[in-house]
């Protein structure tokens, strides 16, 4: 017998009501039920800590990369500057060498010709003839000279002859070598290219800039890879800027001049634009015609050459070694006056070399703009350099969570600025100096302060061998242009920063140098 419909509906309603009551009871128990809570919180905490850890990895990685690249820029820029400073010292050394070779050539020519020796017998004979007048002198201390002079004269003649023969023998062996160094005299062939020292100096001028640029690149490369990786890296990989992208792969360095030109990439034959601020004043060389005042450079070069050559000649003649120098003759053989005679004859030989044989060749090289003061404009144009290191950005840790926005616009760059200069004299003693008192032409007492400093020259010239380099704050006016310029060369393919015409003042606001 079937149940009535009302009973069935009542029973279904009761079942539904019980299910709803049970569901409501379970929902009300959620607030007090703690089962599984730790698992849910742990998931969120681990996710947050993972994101924080990835962020720390990214910050540390980018910071480490920046420090490494900055170390590379500092080391590479300094190394490139060292090459340029050594180039300046090489020019200065060979300028001195040129004057010294002229001096020793004059010395050896006089030793070969023995002009001074020819006057000695006449001088000594005059002393012997005059010696008898001392016999009747009213001063007792002069009377022994009447017998001493005739006895001394042959000994002095013997000394002069022996020394002259020794010097002539030395000249026979050494003079051809020094004359070969000087090359063909101008009266024979003024355009001869066999002048060895000037040719070496021109090679220094033409190669120093490229060596400095290669040094900058090599130092940058060595800071970008580990030594074991560097040794196994092929040249093809070195030249490919995409190699190792995302890792600490190769990084290229370029040394820039303040004219926004890489060092050594412009015309190094132009004296007005070459990297080393040195010009060749010889009128038979291209520099002379490109200079606005070539004759002034030549006159200054000849003046300095004559000054140095005479100083070196005096040193050769006055050598303290009794086996070589003539100070012995001035002390022990005064009657012959041989040292002064030899000095006069050797100076005549030197004047012939300077004014007759090589008036315009074998001349020292001169600093560009030598007649201008060393102001900021001249410093920036001739002696300041900026080294820039380029490399692909390192890959991010968790790149889907963190993205370096700079990676899309440009490659990573670091930079440093260096200058080549001549240091000032250093104090080396306390209390730093002393006063000297003297009387002027009007009879008035005067006092002068003298510093206790070293004897090094601090003249900015191509005759100073103390050129050195140092890193300075990167505040050059054209630094933004350099950073925005396409490096090319070994750094071809790297994307420079787009600074949108930023001024140096604006760059200094974010610059950490």
Parent domain of 443: 425-456
In a domain? residue 444 = yes
pLDDT tens figures, 434-468: 677 777 767 778 877 666 666 677 889 999 999 99
Minimum mean pLDDT among 161-165, 269-273, 322-326, 329-333: which range?
A: 322-326
Residue 347 has pLDDT above 90, yes or no: yes
Q: Higher confidence at residue 452 or residue 304?
A: 304
User: Which one-letter DSSP state was computed for residue 425?
Assistant: P
**So what's the pLDDT on residue 66?**
86
Helix (H, G, I), strand (E, B) or coil at 246: coil
Contact 297, 370 (CB under 8 A): yes
State the Cα–Cα distance between residues 381 and 374, nearest whole angstrom: 11
Percent of the chain residues topping a pLDDT of 70: 85
Confidence of residue 244 (pLDDT cuts 50, 70, 90): very low
Overall average pLDDT of the 59-63 stretch: 81
Residue 253 half-sphere exposure, CB side, CA atoms within 13 Å? 33
Q: Higher confidence at residue 417 or residue 375?
A: 417
Cis peptide before 116 (omega within 30 of 0): no
State the Cα–Cα distance between residues 311 and 343, nearest whole angstrom: 12
pLDDT tens figures, 86-140: 999 999 999 999 999 999 999 999 999 999 999 999 999 998 888 888 887 788 8
Overall average pLDDT of the 266-290 stretch: 91
**So what's the pLDDT on residue 38?**
66
In a domain? residue 434 = yes
In a domain? residue 450 = yes
Question: How many domains are there within the chain?
Answer: 1
Residue 382 has pLDDT above 70, yes or no: yes
In a domain? residue 432 = yes
In a domain? residue 154 = no
In a domain? residue 352 = no
**So what's the pLDDT on residue 132?**
84
In a domain? residue 440 = yes
Helix (H, G, I), strand (E, B) or coil at 453: strand
**So what's the pLDDT on residue 333?**
83
Q: What is the pTM of this model?
A: 0.81
Contact 216, 83 (CB under 8 A): no
In a domain? residue 439 = yes
pLDDT tens figures, 394-437: 877 777 777 777 777 788 899 999 999 998 877 665 556 667 77
Residue 246 has pLDDT above 50, yes or no: no
**So what's the pLDDT on residue 227?**
52
Task: Name residues whose C-beta falls within 8 Å of residue 511's C-beta, 6 or more positions apart in sequence.
Answer: 474, 475
């Amino acid at each position: 017998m079937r149940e009535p419909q009302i009973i069935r509906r009542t029973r279904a309603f009761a079942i539904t009501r019980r299910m709803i009551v049970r569901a409501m009871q379970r929902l009300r128990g959620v607030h007090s039920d703690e089962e599984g809570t730790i698992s849910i919180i742990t998931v969120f905490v681990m996710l947050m800590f993972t994101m924080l850890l990835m962020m720390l990895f990214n910050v540390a990685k980018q910071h480490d990369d920046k420090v490494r690249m900055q170390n590379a820029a500092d080391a590479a820029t300094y190394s490139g500057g060292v090459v340029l400073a050594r180039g300046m010292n090489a020019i200065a050394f060979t300028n001195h060498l040129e004057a010294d070779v002229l001096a020793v050539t004059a010395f050896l020519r006089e030793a070969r010709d023995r002009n001074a020796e020819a006057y000695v017998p006449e001088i000594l004979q005059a002393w012997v003839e005059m010696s008898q007048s001392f016999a009747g002198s009213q001063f007792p201390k002069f009377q022994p000279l009447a017998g001493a002079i005739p006895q001394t004269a042959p000994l002095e003649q013997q000394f002069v002859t022996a020394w002259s023969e020794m010097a002539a023998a030395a000249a026979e062996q050494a003079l051809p070598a020094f004359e070969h160094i000087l090359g063909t005299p101008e009266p024979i062939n003024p355009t001869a290219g066999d002048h060895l020292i000037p040719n070496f100096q021109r090679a220094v001028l033409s190669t120093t800039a490229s060596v400095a640029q290669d040094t900058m690149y090599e130092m940058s490369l060595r800071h970008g890879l580990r030594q074991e990786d560097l040794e196994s890296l092929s040249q093809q990989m070195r030249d490919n800027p995409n190699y190792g992208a995302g890792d600490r792969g190769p990084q290229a360095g370029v040394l820039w001049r303040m004219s926004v030109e890489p060092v050594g990439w412009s015309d190094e034959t132009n004296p007005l634009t070459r990297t080393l601020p040195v010009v060749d004043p010889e009128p038979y060389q291209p520099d002379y015609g490109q200079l606005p005042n070539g004759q002034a450079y030549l006159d200054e070069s000849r003046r300095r050459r004559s000054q140095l050559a005479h100083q070196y000649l005096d040193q050769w003649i006055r050598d303290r070694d009794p086996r070589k120098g003539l100070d012995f003759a001035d002390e022990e053989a005064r009657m012959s006056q041989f040292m002064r005679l030899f000095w006069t004859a050797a100076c005549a030989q030197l004047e012939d070399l300077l004014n007759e044989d090589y008036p315009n060749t074998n001349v020292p090289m001169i600093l560009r703009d030598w007649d201008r003061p060393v102001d900021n404009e001249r410093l920036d144009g001739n002696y300041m350099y900026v080294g820039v290191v380029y490399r692909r950005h390192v890959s991010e840790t968790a790149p889907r969570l963190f993205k370096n926005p700079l990676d899309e616009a440009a490659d990573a760059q670091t930079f440093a600025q260096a200058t080549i200069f001549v240091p000032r004299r250093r104090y080396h003693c306390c209390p730093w100096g002393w006063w000297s008192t003297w009387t002027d032409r009007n009879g008035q007492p005067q006092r002068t302060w003298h510093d206790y400093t070293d004897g090094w020259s601090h003249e900015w010239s191509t005759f100073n061998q103390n050129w050195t380099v140092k890193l300075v704050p990167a505040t050059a006016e054209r630094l933004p242009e350099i950073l925005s310029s396409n490096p090319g060369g070994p750094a071809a393919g790297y994307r420079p920063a787009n600074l949108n015409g930023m001024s140096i003042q604006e760059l200094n606001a974010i610059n950490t140098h």
